[in-house]
Amino acid sequence: MQQLKQLIFEAEKKRIAIGHFNISDIAGLKAIFKAAQELNLPVIIGVSEGESGFVGMRQTAALIKSLREEFDYPIFLNSDHTHSLEKIKEAVEAGFDAVLFDGGKLPIEENIQKTKEVVDYVKSVSASQGTDILVEGELGYLGGSSKILTEIPKDASINKEDLTKPEQAEQFVKETGIDLLAPAIGNIHGMFKNVPNPNLNIKRIKKLREAAGVPLVLHGGSGIRDEDFLAAIDAGISTVHINTELRLAWRKGIDAALKDMPEEITPYKILPSAVEEIKKVVEKRMKLFNKLD
């Protein structure tokens, strides 16, 4: 089976992107896996510290491993937005395929120093076990969290002067040795209910990809316009993170099931409605990222 790194480089070459979808429970995982399988596309499952705290790091890793082995399927697991070396170690020991060390809020020198510590640790483990665990670094602060927004988060970097700068990206990659870079390119975490998220800075993506020399990850995918996604992928994005849209779909599914069956108490009769709603979103996003009809 192909390694995640190879798949990302291939996606980049084909000017498509791999979908990274966050889960909080098995309903989300079932939905994402079904959608990926039906489209026959590789997929990355993400868990933030909050999400893995709920499901369990080792338990999440065991679930992904079981799907990968039983179905011989390219499904990978990423420790999303991880803020300490301690948590990174937990993820690596549990068997994650990739980690994102999130130092986006730190001053660049401190971000470089902490990210490098993570890279050194992960690469030494990878070398000793003959694996290739990917390390993603974050440069520029994205702000917000995966929820419904009513205004642009105050700390979001969407003004041109706050976006990740190509020369800093070059320095960051060179000095840390990361495999993937998550930049601030006008993206924010979370989405508005009735209007799309702000536009991405496509020119900056192109410059960042050239300067960084490593594949770029687009965070805060929920609420972004389709045309913006396609332009961003053409400009150098090869992985896209989606979470809020899935949380919204989960809630929609649960609400509908409870409305239809007000007396129902059996989780496995209520949850399929959430699975269906999440699956629809994942299918739509995967088709777009892979430029399928």
Cβ 179 vs Cβ 163: under 8 Å: no
Using alpha carbons only, give the angle 60, 61, 67 rounded to the nearest 5 degrees. 95
Candidates 219, 247, 279, 285; binder of Zn ion (CB under 5 A) is 219
Q: With binding defined as CB under 6 A, does residue 241 bind ligand G3H? A: yes
Q: Which region, judged by CB under 5 A, interacts with Zn ion, from 113-121, 164-172, 193-201, 218-226?
A: 218-226
Among 103, 220, 236, 253, binds ligand G3H (CB under 6 A): 220
Using CB under 6 A as the binding rule, the residues of this chain from 160 to 189 that contact ligand G3H are 189
Distance CA 61, CA 137 (A): 21
Please state the closest distance from residue 91 (CB atom) to ligand G3H, in A.
14
Q: Which is nearer to ligand G3H, 238 or 257 (CB)?
A: 238
Count of helices and strands (H, E) across the chain: 11, 10
Residue 244 binding ligand G3H, by CB under 6 A: yes
Q: Which stretch binds Zn ion (CB under 5 A): 119-127, 219-227, 250-258, 277-285?
A: 219-227
To Zn ion, the closest distance from the beta carbon of 116 in angstroms equals 21
Among 24, 82, 146, 290, binds ligand G3H (CB under 6 A): 146
Residue in 221, 235, 257, 289 binding ligand G3H, rule: CB under 6 A = 221
> Is 247 one of the binding residues for Zn ion (CB under 5 A)?
no
- Cβ atoms within 10 Å, residue 86: 8
Which residues of this protein are in contact with ligand G3H, per CB under 6 A? 22, 46, 80-81, 146, 189-191, 219-222, 241-244
Which residues of this protein are in contact with Zn ion, per CB under 5 A? 219, 241
